[in-house]
Amino acid sequence: NCDVVWPAFLVGIATSVPPLESLIALTFIMASGAGIGTQLSAFFVFVLLVLAVIEIPLIAHLAVPQKTEQVMLRIQ
């Protein structure tokens, strides 16, 4: 069990810093000159899209846990 955990831990540590592209995109959103409501909406949508890789499996697990587990095991 312990041999399987350390690669995931290392990948998690390596990807915990936001990529440079994300910071650049968020800088452009905030510097766009649009209204604050529009900027916050664009920021929120951007973050949701970036986190979709995590959110989609979590929502699928809430909706159909057995099928999601089968798919995740096949992907692994």
Instruction: Give whole-number Cα distances, 37 to 15, 24, 41, 50, in Å.
Output: 30, 20, 6, 20
pLDDT at 51: 82
Maximum separation of any 2 CA atoms in the chain, in Å: 52
pLDDT at 10: 78
Contact 61, 68 (CB under 8 A): yes
Q: Which residue has the higher pLDDT, 9 or 70?
A: 70
C-alpha span between 68 and 54 (Å, rounded): 13
pLDDT at 76: 75
17-66 pLDDT, tens digit each: 677 777 888 888 889 889 999 998 998 888 888 888 788 888 999 999 99
Contact 29, 46 (CB under 8 A): yes
> Is residue 2 pLDDT above 60, yes or no?
no
